[in-house]
Amino acid sequence: MIHRFDFLVIGSGIAGLSYALKVASHGTVAIITKKQKAESNTNYAQGGVAAVMAETDSFELHIQDTLATGVGLCNTTAVETMVKEGPTRLKELIDIGVEFTQKNSKLDLGREGGHSVNRIVHARDLTGQEIERALLAKIASTSNIHTFENHIAIDLLTEHHIAGKMVLDRSNVHCWGAYALSELNDTVEIFLAKVVLLSTGGLGQVYLHTTNPVIATGDGVAMSYRAGAKIANMEFIQFHPTTLHDSGSPSFLISEAVRGFGGILRSQDGEEFMHRYDKRKSLAPRDIVAYAIDTELKKRGEDYVLLDLRHLAADQIKERFPNIHNTCLTKFKLDITKEPIPVVPAAHYSCGGVVTDIDGRTSITGLYAAGEVSMTGVHGANRLASNSLLEALVFSHRAAQSSVEFLKSYAGSIPEVNVWDDSGTFNSEEWILISHNSLEVQQIMWDYVGIVRSDLRLERAFRRSELIRNEVETFYKKTKVTTGLIELRNLVVCATLIIRSAMKRKESRGLHVNTDYHKRDDEKFLCDTVVD
């Protein structure tokens, strides 16, 4: 089946939905999403949106907090754009019905690690879910937007897929849509579009322990890389410092805002330890806190540290964090008002991704990207808490504006593309063997490419991941596609990109800590790590 639209959006998080709403008045829009439309990293975001909304705050303060946290690698222009345009984008959310928490008829602004003032706009501790709810309601009332649930994109359509053409010139690539597997019909469909937006979210499932939902398999990064797009800064994987110990997969997130509210990190014997790592103590940025916890666990031989709220008023904890309190109490039999929370770091966010300019354009003509899949340069070597939803809002808006102009200037028609060839046989016994590779990749990444790395660990990870990647690609080429195979193929590609990028950076900076290079090296590595 062939679908034809003006705009194709791959992914249904805050970036994709916001973009779709803004381009819908200029053409037909298709949204394809792997599972249900509400399943996204956005929906799991507890903390909030960082924005300058108070008189006591300023653009300059937010910019400096972001730059400081990014450890020298932020794109200053992108940061300034995000910070200065953020409040307007946030007000647009309020206008479509997002109900942020208020106090005394004003936005209740929280504080998180790395921020110098209170500026986190939130909806209790389920901010992402509330934003997703309002956006989906608006999407449902917009007739020009067509949503295809349970469709997983396989590959982007480029010159390589034009009928009769087999050579791909990676220096001059165009995108005209995507192949996608309909999971319900078990058929591969073709989505043709003059403009494509990638908003596929993150890749946390590359790691054994992650806060990301099971759909976060790095599909957008992997597809873009195969299509010839520039990818950068994949070595900077943010580990959220505080997820509930032994809470399953995905790990249950204990929001950054809990520390901003006054939570204190302690070792299991009750000792505070963050003062040994940063003067901001428990309110230090995530890279510092995650490293500190990892160091303490290895030094003490323990499985978790404690996040202590017992000195805070119980009614205030319940009011500010109803979801965290209720989930811990009902699902894990833990009363966070009376007991310290056992926490460990888990893979949370990719600061790298598909390289874009400040208007969302990638190095492939007709292909845009926004949200976690993109690398705008705002996060540098470490993301400031709650800047992720802000980035998605600001740059999806700019991508929408640029896309509309691109569509207006579009000349000619979309070329004829090859139909999907699913010849080959499916060997269930062989699939059982190959499916084990997913767990193997996650274990390799967790053991060798986690919070602390070394040249030896990275070299081991590279050799093992390359072997798996070759096995998976060989199997993929002779087998009918399935969701599991598509995701495994993408996971392995993302794993190798992370490892290759980490091997190139011979220093320690932000989220990339290498024990063979204890210091940052601005002379050689004050630059992005680009892979193409």
Strand 187-198 versus strand 177-182 pairing type: antiparallel
Cis status, amide bond into 340, omega within 30 of 0: no
Nearest Cα neighbor of 510 from 455, 438, 452, 459 is 452
Q: Half-sphere exposure of residue 393, counting CA atoms within 13 Å on the CB side?
A: 27
Whether residue 461 contacts residue 453, with contact meaning beta carbons closer than 8 Å, is answered with no
CA angle 152, 155, 158 (to 5 degrees): 145
Q: Considering 89, 119, 286, 453, which one is annotated as catalytic?
A: 286
First to last CA, the chain: 32
Which DSSP letter does residue 154 get? Answer: E
Residues 41, 221, 418, 181, Cα dihedral to 10°:
-30
- How far is residue 79's CA from residue 107's CA, in Å, rounded to a whole number? 23
Bridge partners, 254 (sequence order): none
Whether residue 397 contacts residue 389, with contact meaning beta carbons closer than 8 Å, is answered with no
Q: Which amino acid is at 307?
A: L
Nearest Cα neighbor of 474 from 401, 424, 526 is 424
- Contacts with 55 (C-beta within 8 Å, 6 or more apart), sequence order: none
Q: 398 an active-site residue?
A: no
**Secondary structure of 422-447 in HEC code, one letter for each residue:** CCCCCCHHHHHHHHHHHHHHHHHHHH
CA 492 from chain centre, in angstroms, equals: 17
Q: How many CB atoms lie within 10 A of CB 264?
A: 17
| Residue position matching structure tokens 């798996």 | 468
Nearest Cα neighbor of 272 from 340, 209, 331 is 340
Active site residues: 286
